[in-house]
Structure 1
Amino acid sequence: MRKVISLLCSLSIIFSLLASTMDAAEINPKKLLEKKYPRERVTVSKSIDLNGDNKKEHLLITDSNNFYFINSKGVIVLIDTNYYNEEDPTFHIINISPKEKHVAITLDYPPSNTELFVFKYQDGTLKKKLSIIGDVSIQISKSGEIRQAWKNYFPEGGWDTSVAYYKWNSKKDKYVGSGELSR
């Protein structure tokens, strides 16, 4: 009888450990956020492994224009607010290295303005590393370079298109700009 009870206890411990790891791997980010914040409704979401640990992190923007991050352990962090535009914001992933990806968000304001925010996964959350507006355009190349085209106005009226480029510098832990940087 003792052996049977011991075996049953061992099996229940093993099953409970397996169940908790399966739950962590199968996080439903929308349900998790809406359970903690019942008034929030997710409008845009993306799940991706940002740090190369084979576990997904989750990016969510809600109808109240809040940007949330859920790490692979299910911890919810409010990253920023006021992510409003006429169209849904767009997530872009910038591959810095095999073990590092940055999250970029573009907000389009027709007819031509685009706002860009870039975040780095750091210390279990996202840290803002770049914030720019391209009133002509913003483009992100496959190599991770960001091109900002903006209107450089003349004092007497009119404008020319100026172009700035931003590239990640890991030694400085920031995006470094070149070209004609906006003022």
Structure 2
Amino acid sequence: MKKVFLLICSISIFFGLLPITLVDAATVNPKTLLEKKFPRERVTVSKSVDLNGDNKKEHLLITDSGNFYLINSKGVIVLIVTNYYNEEDPTFHILNISSKETHVAVTLDYPPSNTQLFVFKYQYGTLKKKLSIIGDVSIKILKSGEIKQVWKSHLPEGGWDAAVAHYKWNSKKDKYVGSGELSP
């Protein structure tokens, strides 16, 4: 009786742990995957999101060395940009341009007021840069996906006035189109 009980317990423990092992093997931690392939890299900022509507997440990672990586849904690691230096951690913003299109924006804040913005479009398993601007005063991303840049228009006699530019995505031109006072 004791042997049968031990056998039943052993079988239930074995089969009880098996699904946990399979789930863990199927779920890959993007930080671990990147740090395994590039042992000197340490991920400081990460975000996982479905960029192309295939119900599989892509992973966005920025490392302490300033490198920006994408791990696409097939597990391919792609280096997007190097030398993202920032006193504070960069911030990812996901822009839902339309039901079929999502963009990734990265903001780098340089206190006291400067913000740099990069916007990327997911294409062919990688990210393509579509906009790069600096807001001397601020950059705001509106819910509509429009980007508002406020920058300093320096006056010849000294001082500055706030200048405002707006950027909207134009899918036919495959780029952000600016209006208002665009920075030089």
Number of the residue aligned with 2:6: none
Give the TM-score normalised by the residue count of structure 1: 0.86
Taking the TM superposition and a 5 Å limit, the aligned residue runs for 1:11-50 are 26-50=27-51
SS at match of 1:91: strand
Number of the residue aligned with 2:178: 177
SS at match of 2:88: coil
Q: Following TM superposition, where does structure 1 have runs of at least 4 consecutive aligned residues deviating by more than 3 angstroms?
A: 21-25
Q: CA deviation at 1:25?
A: 5.5
Unaligned 5+ runs, structure 1: 1-20
AA in 2 matched with 1:43: T
Number of the residue aligned with 1:15: none
AA in 1 matched with 2:27: E
Max Rg structure:
2
Unaligned 5+ runs, structure 2: 1-21
1:24 and 1:73 in contact (8 A); partners too: no
Q: CA deviation at 1:100?
A: 1.4
SS at match of 2:55: coil
Q: CA deviation at 1:23?
A: 7.6
SS at match of 1:55: coil
Superposed CA deviations along residues 121-160 of structure 1, whole A, max 9, x for unmatched, are: 0011000000000000000000000000000001111100
Relative to 1, partners in 2 of residues 1:141 and 1:29: Cα closer, same or farther, differing over 3 Å?
same
Relative to 1, partners in 2 of residues 1:122 and 1:173: Cα closer, same or farther, differing over 3 Å?
same
Q: Percent identity?
A: 83
Relative to 1, partners in 2 of residues 1:24 and 1:78: Cα closer, same or farther, differing over 3 Å?
farther
Q: CA deviation at 1:99?
A: 2.3
C-alpha RMSD of the superposition: 1.4
Relative to 1, partners in 2 of residues 1:143 and 1:25: Cα closer, same or farther, differing over 3 Å?
farther
Q: CA deviation at 1:98?
A: 1.8
Taking the TM superposition and a 5 Å limit, the aligned residue runs for 1:152-171 are 152-171=153-172
1:149 and 1:164 in contact (8 A); partners too: yes
Number of the residue aligned with 1:70: 71
Superposed CA deviations along residues 79-127 of structure 1, whole A, max 9, x for unmatched, are: 0011111110000000011221100000000000000000000011000
